[in-house]
Chain A
Amino acid sequence: QDLKVLSSWDQSYAAVGEVLMPFMEYLEEETTADVKLSRFGPETIPPFEQFNPVSQGLFDLLYTNGGYHYNDIAVGMSLDALSGSAEELHASGIWDFADRQYQEMGLKLIAVFYDRNGFHMVLKEPLGDDALAGRRIRGTPLYHPVIEELGGSPAVLPAQEIYPALERGVVDGAGWPAVGAVNYRWFEVAGYFVRPTFGQVSHMLLMNLETWNGLDETTQSEIETAARHYETVSSGIFDELAAKEEATLVAEGMEATYFQEDIAANLKSAWFEGVLDLSATINPEAIAEIRDMAAQANIGG
């Protein structure tokens, strides 16, 4: 069986080259049926338009971040607000809940590859006493609550415009997952990255529901087992990547700059509340349930 995988990023992005592509190979090995996976990237369909083509069956699998389709279903984006491992996500019941929600949209949740190193910001100038007061920080809507909580003004820019905007000082900093600044070479134009990081980045793998239902039971359970195993493996890969990323940034001349303690403590809850509030504008009931489950499992803000 040939399965088409659509990914939101090109292969130079570590979450694709170092996680998705090895997982595709792993899955081909782990299935007894002859399953072949081929990958297509954002040159086929732009990242923010990918959700419907996969739910309609043009592609069999989608590798993306929940924020890229939160206007269709915000359950995936809310996973970025949590603070637990993939195992804890299963134990809390949130994973299965999210799966059921996605199935209503014609998609089956296959795996959540968590990068638990989360999000950070690169800055042109180090942090002072007043966090980001008076600074313009690039960020998608996801980051706005945190940026504003820290006193900054959010500005929306596409990824490719971040480099020149930092270079010319159109923005004073940019929010992004902790892994990525090396790929985009922002170390050429910014001197600092903030610590601690906040939230965690979920990379979701979803399958078209009809494709899933068309698979025999053996293959289904093999895929489930392989995905479950790789959720743990990928988390380790991301940790290594993040460590390597930070070392590279330092080697390229960047320095860590630290939030003051009270601010750092506040950061985590600001992120949690901000992301969940945004998610709740789309799916209020589902997000309320996730909030409860997260609180019970103690993986909330």
Chain B
Amino acid sequence: MIEGIPAVLAGVGLLLLAMFSGMPVFVAFLVVNLGATVLLLGPAGFGMFSGSFFETATSSSLVTIPLFILMGELLFRSRAVEVLFQSIDTLVGRVRGRQYILSIVLATVFSTLSGAAMGVAAMLGRSLLPGMISRGYDARLSIGTILAGASLAPLIPPSVLVIIIGTLSGVSIAGLLIAGIVPGLMFASLFAAYVFFRIWRNPELAPMTEDATRRSSAREVVLALLKLLPFSIIILLVMGLILMGVATPTEAGAMGVLGALITAAIYRNLSVRMVAESLGASAQVSAMILIVMASSKLFSQLLAFSGGATALTEWIVALEVSSWTMLILLMVLPFVLCMFVDQIALMLIVIPIYLPIIETFHYDPIWFWLLFLVNITVGGMTPPFGYTLFALKSAWSEGSLSTVFRAAWPFVALFVLGMVLLALMPGLTTFLPSLI
């Protein structure tokens, strides 16, 4: 029986091999997990296997995923997204790349509020993305902005990951939540700057529609604003209900669906047929995402069971290196592991082992855990494994996963760049919390 670090390497290697042979991702996970169950646990392990399937498929926090996908379907089929594009064209038509900024903003706002990066990536992959591509926007840049915006979610409150970090590390949750604001804004500006840089180098990435080049009349502007109203209902419903404490983030997803139905009715596109088709399409997309999650959950559990992840973490923590080298190692570990392992499982394994070393090196806790948070978040959009990537691909039926992978890389690089900035300038994270 293999144990410890070799078990981690063998598991990850096999998984990569199975995945790149072209079989469905969930099948690849099942192959590795069933094999590992037999090897590590024997037949008694099948109970654990089925328990992990059941537990994942019934976890209430994942309910947000189908709800947001359904919201996206309804918006797409009711042509609400088209109206949104037109209004933005009329209002800021002269800004090249405006729709990219729109997708960053929408992805950030929705995923931040709901805490469901996957659900939002799928929602926008279904609603916004096809519209952008058909308008001549670059597919990869569009996908990148959606993935990056959605991945900002855990940085900005409300954030379940921050609550778990606070619980496990004893750092102030309120402090961590406030500390995330400046980095969140910084990342969003980095993404916007990158988009404008790319367009400046290659203007063809952002089409100028002809009627948008002339100045809109006052009447057109007012009309465009009016047309935005129905769409705002959804944002208001989702955002307002969460902020006012009327609904939990999960329930707000359902309220967003109601909002999308109202929007569709206002645009006169509501019909039984439309709703039925939306339900069918969203049920398919969410099944694709959740089967991957259910099949992969056991991988994290087996990694914990084999002691491999613990051994790896303990090995790194015991290395005798300088403060900065240690910081890099402590960040690279979750960055890599989170590509394969569930974020919460990883935190439960790693954080207790990290705690003493943070004191040894006198790292500022808020600064350190915020960097850690960004790291585990980016894992979800780093190829080849990433739930956010799979979610977006599931919703974007016309495209291929390879395109999604290529779209993600530049934004992963931007995240890394941003983390370097945060590491070098601790004030960006520690200043706001120091005020409370």
Contact = CB atoms under 8 A, between A and B. Distances in A.
Interface in A124-178: 157-158, 160-161, 163-165, 167-170
Contacts of B300: 43
Contacts of A58: 41, 44-45, 47-48
A49 interface: yes
Interface in B238-269: 242-249
B48 A164 contact: no
Interface string B333-357: 0000000000011101100100000
A interface bracket (residues with beta carbon within 8 Å of B): 20 to 34
A53 B51 contact: yes
Contact of A185 (B173, B249, B349): B173
A44 B305 contact: yes
Nearest to A4: B305
A43 B301 contact: yes
B207 interface: no
B45 A170 contact: no
Given A52-B51, A158-B60, A10 B348 contact: yes
A169 to B, nearest CB: 4
Contacts of B61: 158, 161
A183 interface: yes
Interface residues of B, number: 41
Given A10-B352, A12-B352, A170-B248, A40 B305 contact: yes
B216 interface: no
Contact of B48 (A38, A53, A160, A165): A53
Contacts of B163: 160, 163-164
A53 B49 CA distance: 10
Interface string B350-374: 0010000000000000000000000
B54 interface: yes
A11 B44 CA distance: 26
Nearest to A38: B307
Contacts of B167: 12, 160, 183-185
Contacts of A165: 248
Given A52-B51, A57-B44, A45 B301 contact: yes
A49 B52 CA distance: 8
B166 interface: yes
Nearest to A52: B47
A168 B51 contact: no
A184 B166 CA distance: 8
Nearest to B345: A43
Contacts of A161: 61, 160, 248
A40 B300 CA distance: 13
A71 to B, nearest CB: 13
A54 B304 CA distance: 16
A301 interface: no
A191 to B, nearest CB: 14
Interface in A49-96: 49, 52-53, 56-58
Given A12-B170, A49-B52, A42 B44 contact: no
A253 interface: no
A46 B348 contact: no
B245 A170 contact: yes
Contacts of A160: 160, 163-164, 167
A48 B59 CA distance: 12
A188 B305 CA distance: 34
B220 interface: no
B166 A185 contact: yes
Nearest to A56: B44
A183 B174 CA distance: 14
A56 B300 CA distance: 21
A44 B344 CA distance: 11
Contacts of B344: 43
Contacts of B9: none
A183 B165 CA distance: 11
A56 B44 CA distance: 6
Interface in A166-204: 167-170, 183-185, 188
Interface of B: 41, 44-45, 47-48, 51-52, 54-55, 60-61, 158, 160, 163-164, 166-168, 170, 172-174, 242-249, 300-301, 304-305, 307, 344-346, 348-349, 352
Given A43-B300, A58-B44, 9 more contacts: A12-B167, A43-B349, A44-B305, A46-B52, A46-B55, A49-B52, A164-B158, A168-B242, A170-B246
25 contacts: A41-B304, A43-B346, A43-B348, A46-B52, A46-B55, A49-B48, A52-B47, A53-B48, A53-B51, A56-B47, A58-B41, A58-B45, A161-B160, A163-B163, A163-B173, A164-B249, A165-B248, A167-B158, A168-B244, A170-B246, A184-B167, A185-B166, A185-B172, A188-B172, A188-B174
- Give me the 3 closest cross-chain CB pairs, A-B, nearest first: A169-B245, A168-B245, A49-B51
